[in-house]
Amino acid sequence: MAAEQIARPVSQDTTPRRLEVLVIGMHYAPESTGNAPYTTGMARGLASGGHSVRVITGYPHYPEWKVRTGYTGLRTQHLDGDIAVQRVRHPVPAVPTAARRVLMDLVFSVHAAVLRGPRPDVVIAVSPVLLSVAAGIRWRSAGRTALGVVTQDLYCHALAETGLASPAWAQMGAQLERALLSRADGVAVIHENFARDLVELGIAPERLSIIRNWSHVRTSTADPAATRKRLGWAPGEIIALHAGNMGVKQGLGNVVDAARLASCSPGGVRYVLLGAGGERRHLEEAATGVESLDFMDPLPDGQFEDALAAADVLVLNEAPSVAAMSVPSKLTSYFASGRPIVAATASHSAASAEIARSGAGVRVDPGSPDALHAAVCRLGRDAPRGRAMGMRGLAYMRANLSPQAAAAAYGAWVEGLAAARTGIGGPRHSRGGGP
């Protein structure tokens, strides 16, 4: 298959070729989890590389599923450095069912499509939202504008694996994804598994490039003992921390059940669910009376990294049905923490491949609280093994998931798209900057 590492070579031509780039993606800073850091970092990296970047995005609402205070009106505009950011209003469901999420995605995409402005040299649509690709097609001008798609999740698997749609609707979603991605001049995917699955879906391999997500958090330098004291974690207990979104695909009822096992047996294990999301209220209800489980609200930058580094074990949990739809973004943060990982995920998932490749943790079958709890206990009690795994994850992050490498790859990809479509642009040597 031709879709291997970002394939286009970067030339040593340093002649500036400034491109007009439009990015369409629902999630952007100040959202700090999920896809937002990567869309934001990509846009900032392209701007730092000398391009004129404009972003059309939604109102910040994730993972709380509530528009943040201060964002009102039908549309707003502001600057993010040199980047012109235009936000468009869309509904945000308090309970994100499949139908409500489709409506949200549709309204955002239509709103992004009906805006007016000069045609860019390159328009980049970020999926999810898949329908933003249709908005990108509207912004494309024949012979002038190249269309690129950055695929963070695969809709062809998401609808089926999360149970949000019937098999018939999932099949229709796959057909729509194939039809939209086939209209793009190039598709950037974040993992080799995605490239393989899109080829099977019918996307030509020569249109695919692999640009890995990078680690966008710092490595903590705080004293772990001081952090544990501040967070109320006892010195002798094993802290198993899950940090990030609490949604359907995370299947965190498995962690609640593992914590229930910890409550019923001695051993000093405390599970912590840190973050927000559409399933948090249900999880809190399910965890009533479970003494070995704590819920924590999202932490600001700095404190978040300190919490990761102070835990004994970091937990990645996916629902048993989830395998191919996504690469959990929390992995890049976990690797940066230098802590070992227990991943409850399918053996053929992208997350499983990353754990094996990095050597940063162990995998157990999803949907098995006994297996999860046993692995947490073993790893939490074996400090030397845990430290070794954590250091391997940190080394893997530094070698493979740097923001500088991603910035150079996105710059080469965008310039290659423009050159192929219009004859302008063309790969050039990166002039610094980064996500």
Q: In angstroms, what CA-CA distances link 418 with 1, 123, 142, 415, 424?
A: 24, 10, 12, 5, 6
In a domain, 433, yes or no: no
Separation of alpha carbons 84 and 126, rounded Å: 17
| Burial classification of residue 383, based on how many CB atoms lie within 10 Å of its CB (0-12 exposed, 13-18 middle, 19 or more buried) | exposed
| One-letter amino acid for residue 427 of the chain | P
**Tokens describing residue 363:** 């995998």
Q: Does some domain include residue 296?
A: yes
Q: Pinpoint the alpha helices (H) of 341-425.
A: 350-358, 369-381, 383-400, 403-422
- Residue 197: inside a domain: yes
User: What's the maximum distance between 2 C-alpha atoms anywhere in the chain?
Assistant: 68
Shared-domain flag, residues 388 and 415: no
User: What's the CA gap between 365 and 374, in Å, rounded?
Assistant: 12
> 141 with 228, same domain?
no
Q: Supply the DSSP string of 202-247, one letter for each residue.
A: T--GGGEEE------SPPP-S-HHHHHHHHT--TTSEEEEEES--S
228 part of a folded domain: yes
> Token pair 């709380």 is at which residue?
64
Residues 6+ positions from 44 with CB-CB distance below 8 Å: 80, 81, 83, 433, 434, 435
For residue 139 the two structure tokens come to 């912004």
User: Can you give the pLDDT at residue 63?
Assistant: 87
**Burial degree of 200 (CB within 10 A; 0-12, 13-18, 19+):** exposed
Query: d(Cα 88, Cα 92) in Å, to the nearest integer?
Result: 12
Residue 54 corresponds to which tokens in the numbers above?
């404009």
Tell me if 25 is assigned to some domain: yes
Q: Is 54 strand, coil or helix?
A: strand
Helix H or strand E segment including 127? strand 122-127
241 with 268, same domain? Answer: yes
> Is 3 domain-assigned?
no
- Cα 319-325-328 angle, rounded to 5 deg: 70
Give 8's DSSP letter: S
> Which of the residues in the chain have pLDDT under 70?
1-16, 155-166, 265-267, 323-326, 422-435
The conformation of residue 391, written as its DSSP 8-state character, comes to H
User: Do 77 and 103 form a contact (C-beta atoms < 8 A)?
Assistant: no
Alpha carbon distance 117, 342 (integer Å): 48
The token duo for 9 is: 């070579």
Which CATH number fits the domain that encloses residue 265?
Answer: 3.40.50.2000
Same domain, 235 and 201: no
User: Residue 182's CB: how many other CB atoms inside 10 A?
Assistant: 13
Q: How far apart are the first and last CA of the chain?
A: 29
Question: What does the angle CA 27 – CA 251 – CA 273 come to, to the nearest 5 degrees?
Answer: 75
8 occurs within a structural domain: no
Integer Cα distance of 39 and 205 in angstroms: 23
Cα–Cα distance, 412 to 7 (Å, whole number)? 9
Rounded CA-CA distance 242/253 in Å is: 12
Specify the number of domains making up the chain: 2
**How high is the pLDDT of residue 13?**
47
- Tell me what percent of the chain is helix, strand and coil, each rounded to the nearest 5: 40, 15, 45
Is 173 found in the same domain as 123?
Answer: yes
- Of the candidates 360, 359, 362, the residue with the CA atom closest to the CA atom of residue 371: 362
Q: What's the rounded Cα separation, in Å, for the pair 8 and 412? A: 7
**Statement to judge: residues 254 and 372 lie in one domain:** yes
**Gap between the Cα atoms of 388 and 341, Å rounded:** 11
Q: Are residues 239 and 103 in the same domain?
A: no
Do 319 and 199 belong to one domain?
Answer: no
Same domain, 154 and 273: no
Residues 53, 141: one domain? yes
Judge contact between 6 and 409, C-beta under 8 A. yes
Q: Are residues 319 and 380 in the same domain?
A: yes
Considering the domain boundaries, does residue 6 fall inside one?
no
* Shared-domain flag, residues 206 and 304: no
CB 319 within 8 A of CB 347: no
> Which domain does 412 fall in, by range?
20-214+402-422
Q: Which residues contact 186 (CB under 8 A, 6 or more apart)?
A: 146, 148, 149, 207, 208, 209, 413, 416, 417, 420
Quick: pLDDT tens for 51-60.
Answer: 999 999 999 9
pTM: 0.83
Distances in Å between the Cα of 78 and the Cα atoms of 20, 294, 368, 377 are: 18, 38, 47, 49
pLDDT digits (tens, 9 = 90+) for 88-102: 999 999 888 878 888
Cβ-Cβ contacts under 8 Å for 423 (sequence gap 6 or more): none
Torsions phi, psi for 244 (to 5 deg): 135, -165
